[in-house]
Structure formats: C-alpha cells, structure tokens
Amino acid sequence: MNFIEGDFKMSGNNLVHKLPSVFNAEAGADVDCVIQFHLSEPAYVSITGGSCTSHAGIAEAPDLSLTMADDFLEPLLRGEVNGMAALMTGKLKFSGDMALAQRISTLFDMDKL
C-alpha cells in the first residue's frame, strides 16, 4: 500500500488481485479470456465460465494486454477516463482484442472495493 495525500491507495498489482472479488459474473458470463496488466509488477486475470481468477506474472497468450502506470488502473476500470484519449496521449497502451478492451469497465464492479 502506498500512502498518498492522507489516503491509503492500493498498488496496481494489489488491485489486479482484488478483481476476482468484484467480478461482475452476469456481465462476464459469455467471456472467455485472459487480460494481462503490465504495471510496476505484471499480473493478469483469467475469465472463464462466469468466474475470474488473478495471477502474478505474465500470461503466455493473453487476449488483451494493457500497459499503464499503477495509479491509472483504478480510474480505467471505473470508467472514469476515456480509453481512446488515454491511448492517444500515451497513458495507456494496448494490444489484442479491442472489443474486450472497450468492455473492461463493465466486467468489474469497482463500487464493491
């Protein structure tokens, strides 16, 4: 945990490992994928059969890879930032399934954190 402006902020890696607990099974019922997060410590989530698991490290063949600063992950997942603008300004880099990238904020209910 990092101490920033009087609040405890979760590292990007810790946030990735919390994603299974806020996974929206209804929104992800038809999803079968691996999403790689290239953060200060790489991690990824596997979504299949309406469930989500998190893993440390680098996935062998992710469907979507996202590269960003740790503090950008939560606003991205909350839908608070425009992904296209973030791509154009270099705050976010991605490779893989564009449709999945556009859906990512619907797969996790960040209000449950």
Domains of the chain: 2-106 (3.30.1050.10)
Q: Report how far residue 61's alpha carbon sits from residue 21's, in angstroms, rounded to the nearest whole number.
A: 24
Average pLDDT of span 45-56: 96
Q: Would you say the C-alpha torsion 19, 74, 7, 14 has a positive or negative sign?
A: positive
Judged against a pLDDT cut of 50, whether residue 58 lies above it is answered with yes
Q: Report how far residue 19's alpha carbon sits from residue 84's, in angstroms, rounded to the nearest whole number.
A: 23
SS3 92: strand
Q: What pLDDT is recorded for position 9?
A: 62
pTM for this prediction: 0.89
Q: What pLDDT is recorded for position 2?
A: 38
Angle between helices 98-107 and 70-77 (to 10 degrees): 80
